[in-house]
Structure 1
């Protein structure tokens, strides 16, 4: 099998030992090191001869122990702006392309995680799959234009745009169609896509948003407050990566509501306005969007808390923290208790809707109102661990088919494999340009419920989602 690709930067040799060719550690930008640390993404340098692309590149600096890095066979470095490509063949075919932006609160994760191995998806769908590394944490999200200049903001999003530009220009060398690119993202990856859409980015042709906490795009004030925290925590005048990560660990990340201190911010440049405001007030790029959440997103974050934590007062306090002055906390709790038995379930469901489901629904509703094709879903497939339910991250093994990489999220039995096949086929239909199910067009509109039974529902939990209508910048 041909495992050589000729890009405008030089020739790459990938790993062609199986029925899918893999190009690992492909540089899409110059290393953001030295004077480029706080600078916008710069073009990758060209090379002479054949460059080997058979090993993953270093992962971005993040809070992970050396022992864990060694156990996983990983290295970590600021020189991390690489991507990985899985393709049935590096030929002249024009296959649909799926570019995936990982989650992790824009502070954790990497495109070479076993969970995100694109082999099964590329093989099943005859598509090209791309995963991306980008700057994370303080190195990618610090809002300090007075320190590093106006172009030092939202470096993570700048990296992601550069990666998408590279894919648009180069993917034809890998058997992909540069005119049929779908960008998909989960969690903070989905938030980034919402920000890109709000900024008018036209580097992709379809978009998939999975479990995005879209209300967590930060204001300038919130981002400035994080920078101020960092300033008090940083001890070294000329910090190295270890110094930066040590200071980063001291920044309060919040819990309920989630603070998202490393998520994108409204900087007036890369992100001129909150995505929920943009979606409501003016058209974004007129592309199809598939978006949704899992039924029990927040359960995985509540799992470490003991049962004794979930008292009546605790649940009411959580409702008040979420609702602010816009609602009576007792009304919020009563609405969620109507169809839930345990206080733990009530507490988790409120955050799931506030942080994930309601802002996603509002974002896609506005996009549909401008005449765009929108497909909304809720993943209801439960974890083998009953306490987790259909939790955050459970969509990942189902989409990529790598069930064994995270057995506690979706299971590994025959039923889980069938669920994975269903999810893959629906996402692939969308990636190929089709309609995977009935379009969503209004509040309470068509939502695909993905579980042991897959069906389209209407008015799905409309009463609960309506509670948060005026809680976000789009309605504030």
Structure 2
């Protein structure tokens, strides 16, 4: 490839030519449509392939994110330019040639309400340069526009409660059909994501319609406990329509995006506080439809996805990101009761002598939402002999309260510690580059088809790799917590 071709690379997709750009030794193609815009009559419907274009499409800039309200999270480290025309993806590749490289498809988090593939934390340059890996990041429909069950209005809306997942499947189909034009191998696709992205990866693992579109999976801080029953999905849809003051699908499709987002926020206020014990929120994927015909955990227990090797884990202090106020003894007991049993408080006091109510609340929330579901997901897979490795991220932020908080592992995995917004998470001082190097290397090896470098998880030893300044392997380290949650979570 000539210097000019490297600086202004052009490649082909099934729908037309795209123009990318070179930056820091890799080729970037951004804002490529993988589906028709879900606007107008296509709102709330399953995605369909995009219409082909005749000219060379400019793919040198990121496209818009899915519609969302300001989150105050890491996504806000870059401007969030959103538009309902959001079914776009980005490709970072070492080169456009005939070489068949492994592919990483990254699914962003954000509680199914916010986020985008353009976040600098997800920059794939290090994977491309150090691992010779093609990295794809995607946008998908969020919130009410992606997860409102409107199946009552007919077959056209049969998947409306899970359209965000349908978008992800459509993006994976695009990768299967087009990634060879970007130097990637469609038979060597790893899906990965964090938080709601991790929930999504676990959901895709249990989804028959997604099987064959990927060969490895990395759910980070995400498992199979994060879906809505169809009954709850209908309640959430009722609440949305009530807040919008509409009764028909035509009224819903003609409502402004901003009105829908504002109504979504009001539904959250009405629904979420009453359902703390379910571990889910309004506008999560809805079960019992053509995409998720049986409850997700039942699908995993039936062996769906068992042939896919999985690397999964959580962060030691996930919930420090969400608990910012002092917790009273009364609120702690309420939290434990909502989770299933007030006895959890005493069990955790015994495990963590001297811990304050706030610290206990953080531990309980971390385990209820993230750690225990991740372990249960692995246990469900083990019944079918599925190859699974577990990790825990232990490196503590120097920023006081946060410790090893939710999402902090992402810039370590991507080797993006100097990206915008990361410094406020890791705190001041020397960059923990050695920890990042180790994690980035493990993820790279796994994506390329190798084992991570420690024993698979089994019920006898329950080996977990702990990443820290000095990493370690721990056997049966979570047994006391698992015992406390037995029969509850």
Q: Confirm or deny a common fold (TM above 0.5).
A: yes
2:390 counterpart of 1:382: no
1:328 equivalent in structure 2: 343
Confirm or deny that 1:197 pairs with 2:205. yes
Residue 423 of structure 2: aligned partner: 407
Q: Check if 1:348 corresponds to 2:362.
A: yes
In the aligned structure 1, how far is the partner of 2:75 from the partner of 2:399?
Answer: 27
Could you tell me how far 1:254 is from its partner in structure 2? Answer: 2.6
- Establish whether residue 276 from structure 1 lines up as the match of residue 284 from structure 2: no
1:456 counterpart = 2:473: yes
User: What is the deviation of 1:210?
Assistant: 0.2
Distance 1:367 1:269 in 2: 22
User: Alpha-carbon deviations, 1:59-117, whole Å to 9, x = none?
Assistant: 1100139xx99994553211010000101111111111100000111110011112212
Q: Give 1:207's aligned residue.
A: 217
Distance 1:199 1:39, change over 3 A: same
C-alpha distance in 2, partners of 1:164/1:82?
12
SS at match of 1:292: strand
> What are the residue-to-residue correspondences of 1:33-432 with 2, within 5 Å?
33-64=39-70, 72-147=78-153, 149-200=157-208, 201-202=210-211, 203-212=213-222, 214-235=224-245, 237=251, 238-252=254-268, 254=272, 256-257=276-277, 258-303=279-324, 305=325, 307=326, 310-324=327-341, 328-338=343-353, 341-404=355-418, 405=420, 406-411=422-427, 413-432=429-448
Q: Secondary structure at the match of 1:254?
A: helix
Match of 1:465? 482
Q: 1-side partners of 2:372 and 2:76: how far apart?
A: 40
Residue 241 of structure 1: how far off its partner (Å): 0.5
Q: Deviations over 1:127-155 (max 9, x none)?
A: 01110001000000001211363233311
- Whether the aligned pair in 2 keeps the contact of 1:384 and 1:408 (CA below 8 Å) is no
Shift of 1:421: 1.1
* 3-state SS, counterpart of residue 322 of structure 2: helix
Deviation at 1:419, TM superposition (A): 1.3
Aligned CA-pair RMSD:
2.2
Task: Note if contact 2:227-2:286 (Cα within 8 Å) is conserved in structure 1.
Answer: yes
Contact 1:88 1:128 in 2 (8 A): yes
SS in structure 1 at match of 2:121: helix
Per-residue deviation, 1:373: 1.2
CA contact (8 A) 2:303 2:381 kept: no
Kindly indicate whether the alpha-carbon contact (under 8 Å) linking 1:58 and 1:80 is maintained by their aligned counterparts in 2. yes
What are the ranges of 5 or more consecutive residues in structure 1 without an aligned counterpart? none
In 2, distance between residues paired with 1:21 and 1:82? 17
Partners in 1 of 2:41 and 2:303 — Cα distance?
38
Listed one character per residue, the Cα deviations across residues 192-247 of structure 1 (whole Å, up to 9, x for unaligned) are 12111112222100000001153221111221221111121104643110110110
Shift of 1:395: 1.3
Specify every segment of 5 or more residues in structure 2 that has no aligned partner in the other structure, as ranges.
Answer: none
Q: Cα 1:71–1:100, aligned 2, differ >3 Å: closer, same or farther?
A: closer
Distance in 2 (alpha carbons) for counterparts of 1:239 and 1:86: 36
Match of 1:13 in 2: 19
Contact 2:194 2:221 in 1 (8 A): yes
Per the alignment, do residues 285 and 297 of structure 1 end up closer, same or farther by CA in structure 2, a change over 3 Å counting?
same
Q: Aligned in 2, Cα 1:70/1:254: closer, same or farther, shift over 3 Å? A: closer
Match of 2:457 in 1: 440
| 1:469 Cα offset (Å) | 3.3
Q: Distance in 1 between matches of 2:316 and 2:11?
A: 42
The alignment partner of 1:246 has SS state of helix
Summarize the Cα distance change of 1:125–1:215 in structure 2 as closer, same or farther, 3 Å threshold.
same
Change over 3 Å in CA distance of 1:330–1:75 after alignment to 2: closer
Superposition deviation, residue 166 in structure 1:
0.6
Q: TM-score, normalised by structure 1?
A: 0.92
1:355: how far off?
Answer: 0.9
Whole-angstrom CA distance in 2 between matches of 1:242 and 1:296: 34
Give the Cα separation in 2 of the matches to 1:186 and 1:70.
17
- Contact kept, 8 Å, 2:144 with 2:264, in 1: the verdict is yes
